[in-house]
Structure 1
Amino acid sequence: MPGFKRKHLSVLALLGALALQPVWAADLKIALSADVSSLDPHYLNIAPNVAFSSHIFDALVNVDANGKLVPGLATSWRAVDATTWEFKLRHDVKFHDGSKFTAEDVVFSLDRPAKLTNSPGPYTAYTKQIIAKKIVDPYTVRLSTATPYGPLALDVSAIFIVSKKAAEKATTEDFNSGKALIGTGPYTFVSFKRGDRIEVARNDQYWGGKSDWDKVSFRIITNSAPRLAALLSGDVDAIEGVPTADLSKLKGNGKFKLEQKISWRTIFWEIDQSEKSPRYVTDKAGKPLPKNPLRDIRVRQAISKAINRQALVERTMEGLAVPASNIVAPGLLGYNAALKVEAYDPEGAKKLLAEAGYPNGFALTLHGPNDRYINDAQVVQTVAQFLNRIGIQTKVETLPLSVYFSKARAGEFSVALLGWGTLAGDFGLRTLVGTSNPDIGWGTWNWGKYSNPELDKLIAASLGSVDQAKREGYAKEAAAVAMKDYAVVPLHHQYATWAMRKGLKYTARTDEFTFAHQFHPE
């Protein structure tokens, strides 16, 4: 029976070929580089929290891997006029509890950030400009602003839509416990062990299509060495924030692969420019100075000139960054290519200090996190060495992110390291150096209390432009004013790097976010 034998052998050959294919577990394990401090999607606006919330919730507008706006829970949006935007919502979207998503949930979610008055990092910068919300029908919402406002779609991309039914009487702790953690996103909540791990399960009814993974475990491993060790040992399938010293080792190991992209995140110094004498700026004997030297533009410029950015990115960052001259990264709206990276000029820095009345310098403490950005503690140490060379006697204090941010936002530090990612220059400038005004959501991360009416006018003009070309022009002009005034001192734009076991693929994202649903088997 030769025909039977041939058929039998072909089946065996097929089975043998299938046996050579990777056998994928239904679960995915990812190690995160920063702690997720809250599961309430409107409580604390920091990247680790935002990235995780994207697994449980959706926004009206989403952002793709290149930083471009794409439909989310809204299928389309348009400017009805200069002060009114209309959003058309998806039909037949359900929350994890089976209830229908409607315009009522959108209005409730846009109102909620303002009600969280104890938020240490509010989302109100994205909602303050909305003065009226109108439900046209269950799947159409119109949002009105007091004045013309072009980037409203980008604003609402930062606001996650929660279930009004589940969240109306919920507290932040109800979200952290999972009780109120009801979204429309690709995963449902399973468990949260603070500082250790978060577990989620696939939402089979997700409007955007099923994830490849039945379950996902996010391991929180803020220390680089254990995070890499977890990947090498097979305890996790992928990691973010790959240690720079180990990149070459991973590149040469056929069991793993890397994905990289210049991110939206700029690392820079926030500088206290308030009138009070800063706590961490003294004479070299440790006595308070009669006035704040950091208010003098010559002193801020001297600090900038003292920093060798090329050496910083090549040695301290080990090539995982490019020197920065802007607050926003190249390719994003408002990036001003005419601004050049500050030249390393220690002698010029010394002359500026002398002109400002500090020929012998003064004493300063630099503060930064030690578990948030790539090589952040080493960056602070390196800059301290540069400043010591121009006569600024510099000490260093780095802290865990959970402690650092609360102190920095309270204004406790004089010169503090911050990394900020934004998809538009006017957004970043409004938040970081716009004159602080809680009523309109400006300056929510303006740690240095910087204020410049000319800059505020340019930012407002940019944000108020429905015409994209005009908006771009105002944003670039505003960037030039901020950098000329040394409102902050930029250092570098960092690369984002993911490492994963062979057989996985991931599209590197400008926003540095790690999304489990965007990992796929090859």
Structure 2
Amino acid sequence: MFKSRRKTISAWILALTIGMSTSAASSLAADLRLGLSAHVSSLDPHYLNIAPNVAMSAHFFDALVNIDADGKLVPGLATSWRAVDATTWEFTLRKGVKFHDGSDFTAQDVIFSLDRPAALTNSPGPFTAYTKQIIGKKIVDPYTIRLTTAAPYGPMALDVSAIFIVSKKAAEKASTDDFNNGKALIGTGPYKFASFKRGDRIEVVRNDSYWGGKSDWDKVTFRIIANSAPRLAALLSGDVDAIENVPTADLSRLKRNDKFKFEQKISWRTIFWHLDQQGGTSKYVTDKAGKPLAKNPLSDPRVRQAISMAINRKAMVERTMEGLAVPASNIVAPGLVGYNDALKVDAYDPEGAKKLLAEAGYPDGFGLTIHGPNDRYINDEQVVQTVAQFLNRIGIQTKVQTLPLSVYFGRARTGEFSMALLGWGTLAGDFGLRTLVGTPNQTTGWGTWNWGKYSNSAVDKLIASSLGSVDQAKRNDFAKQAAAVALQDHAVIPLHHQYATWAMRKGLKYTARTDEFTFANQFHSE
């Protein structure tokens, strides 16, 4: 199946390279056309916390704190910030900023925006993990706000970098639909709304009054092209000027084409498996005859370890990912806060895995259906198929079901799946652990993406200690300890950290970003 897919993509390349118009590939225009690899489901910046939506929101809105291409915090709508004490953070607001409708950006807009995520009770992926710890908000003067927490809290600046600031006047009575149709889409960002055709394209126009400087582009069209072959074909034919997530099978060939250039960087995104760890039955776990098991084997850490040992990550990175990834032992990429060098990638050991299954009471294995998206991560469908092959070799009779992201996320978040693939990008280990393996708690906002319902009080305590450390060295140490306990328990099963790759026509330049985001205002003409 994989070979035929590669041949299909290669056929697109051959046909379109022959017929491509040189003028279309080399022309410089005031308009920019970008091919995106994932669907944008909503333009409401507080509705669903997934990367495609967040990246698009950044074109219309700003946060108090922004993140640069290397994952470092830089000033946004706040020019500076400081810890007044262990539970109080002060932010100095940027002066002279205007919303798209010409109204002034104020401290009231900040307070409203920090409160709004909790008000969206129907959110399928809430942003509340970034706001729950704030118990007090005070406007000191028109350009100074103070945020207080119930307990010492170190990473406040990183938290607020995830919350876009909206216009209170425009959004106070607005619904998510009002953002999607543009009525409430009033921000301070580099572009203004023009149109949104879900599943097809988003069009924006330049905000000439942007505080960060004018974009090079009068108009930008974001084409949603989730399938690799058509996305690549659009670049080769000149229908778009640049694409993200270049198909792995044809990257080396494209690099030899002097009409295009590339930017590449190891990303913050880790691809891993969530496993249902609740007691009782699990919907997609059966005996080999297809009968549901009374007890869920995935709740046994020996079974989870066996599954991890069954996966040959080196082979998968080299073949399935075609070199565009590195094997993972952590849920954050190397070099980020909380990355634990002492954690090693589980060695490929199918015989050892079989022994662990036998010790756990499953000498003949069991039946399992694993799930993943087929249009979100690099080669995601192939990754799921490859893992299924590895699990079959240790006696776990494995079936595969992959779904479009729009369907997959909704079902996965309810805990329906027994083993589900997820990719997560974060700039800090304690943030990722809090969201992905912290004991789910609606009051604190922990565990909002803990699909497997993992719970470990020791892990929770270490995460809390990390988040509560204003001293960055102590915070890093606690985060590493939390990662060690959670991952040695196989709370989740990391697979790999993927590379982010952009391809563009000659004449354009783009700085590759750790967060994988494609920002139109960061494309420039050479």
Question: What band does the TM-score fall into relative to the shorter chain?
Answer: over 0.9
**1:435 aligned onto 2:423:** no
Aligned to 1:70: 74
Counterpart selection for 1:28 from 28, 32, 35: 32
**1:223 aligned onto 2:239:** no
Aligned to 1:298: 302
Query: Alpha carbon RMSD of aligned pairs, Å?
Result: 0.8
Aligned to 2:515: 511
How many angstroms apart in 1 are the aligned matches of 2:70 and 2:243?
20
Counterpart selection for 1:256 from 260, 265, 269: 260
User: What does residue range 116-195 of structure 1 map to in structure 2 within 5 Å?
Assistant: 116-195=120-199
Question: How far is 1:156 from its partner?
Answer: 0.2
How many angstroms apart in 2 are the aligned matches of 1:158 and 1:67?
13
How many angstroms apart in 2 are the aligned matches of 1:91 and 1:307?
53
User: What does residue range 323-338 of structure 1 map to in structure 2 within 5 Å?
Assistant: 323-338=327-342
Counterpart selection for 1:372 from 369, 376, 379: 376
Deviation string, structure 1 residues 82-130 (Cα, Å, up to 9, x no partner): 0000000000000000000010000000000000000000000000000
Aligned to 1:241: 245
Aligned to 2:388: 384
Deviation string, structure 1 residues 470-517 (Cα, Å, up to 9, x no partner): 000000000100111000000000000000001100000000000000
Deviation string, structure 1 residues 116-175 (Cα, Å, up to 9, x no partner): 000000000000000010011111110000000000000000000000011111000000
1:70 partner letter? V
- SS of 1:492's equivalent in the other structure is strand
Question: How far is 1:276 from its partner?
Answer: 2.6
Question: How far is 1:355 from its partner?
Answer: 0.4
Deviation string, structure 1 residues 430-486 (Cα, Å, up to 9, x no partner): 000000001100000000000000000000000000000000000000010011100
2:139 partner letter? I
Question: How far is 1:24 from its partner?
Answer: 2.0
Deviation string, structure 1 residues 293-326 (Cα, Å, up to 9, x no partner): 0111110000000000000000000000000000
- SS of 2:496's equivalent in the other structure is strand
2:306 partner letter? A
- SS of 1:110's equivalent in the other structure is helix
Aligned to 2:424: 420
- SS of 1:231's equivalent in the other structure is helix
How many angstroms apart in 2 are the aligned matches of 1:275 and 1:56?
44
2:78 partner letter? A
1:469 partner letter? A
How many angstroms apart in 2 are the aligned matches of 1:330 and 1:443?
23
Aligned to 1:56: 60
How many angstroms apart in 2 are the aligned matches of 1:36 and 1:268?
22
Per the alignment, do residues 23 and 389 of structure 1 end up closer, same or farther by CA in structure 2, a change over 3 Å counting?
closer
Question: How far is 1:248 from its partner?
Answer: 1.2
- SS of 1:405's equivalent in the other structure is helix
2:411 partner letter? K
Counterpart selection for 1:93 from 88, 97, 112: 97
Deviation string, structure 1 residues 334-390 (Cα, Å, up to 9, x no partner): 000111110000000000000000000000001000000000000000000000000
Task: State the aligned residue count.
Answer: 502
Aligned to 1:482: 486
Counterpart selection for 2:51 from 27, 47, 50: 47
Question: Is the contact between residue 269 and residue 423 of structure 2 (CA under 8 Å) also seen in structure 1?
Answer: yes
Aligned to 2:6: none
Q: TM-score, with normalisation over the residues of structure 1?
A: 0.96
- SS of 2:517's equivalent in the other structure is coil
Deviation string, structure 1 residues 201-238 (Cα, Å, up to 9, x no partner): 01110000000001000000000000000000000000
User: What does residue range 301-380 of structure 1 map to in structure 2 within 5 Å?
Assistant: 301-380=305-384
* Structure 2 gap ranges (5+): 1-25
Q: TM-score, with normalisation over the residues of structure 2?
A: 0.95
Higher mean C-alpha displacement, 414-423 vs 284-293: 284-293
2:182 partner letter? G
* Structure 1 gap ranges (5+): 1-21
2:274 partner letter? E
Question: Is the contact between residue 65 and residue 161 of structure 2 (CA under 8 Å) also seen in structure 1?
Answer: yes
Runs of 4+ in structure 1 off by over 6 angstroms are none
- SS of 1:261's equivalent in the other structure is strand
Aligned to 1:19: none
Question: How far is 1:289 from its partner?
Answer: 1.1
Question: How far is 1:288 from its partner?
Answer: 1.3
How many angstroms apart in 2 are the aligned matches of 1:43 and 1:461?
29
How many angstroms apart in 2 are the aligned matches of 1:459 and 1:234?
48
Aligned to 2:500: 496
**1:279 aligned onto 2:286:** no
How many angstroms apart in 2 are the aligned matches of 1:189 and 1:250?
33
How many angstroms apart in 1 are the aligned matches of 2:148 and 2:487?
33
Identity, in percent, stands at: 83
Question: Is the contact between residue 280 and residue 294 of structure 2 (CA under 8 Å) also seen in structure 1?
Answer: no
Per the alignment, do residues 345 and 23 of structure 1 end up closer, same or farther by CA in structure 2, a change over 3 Å counting?
closer
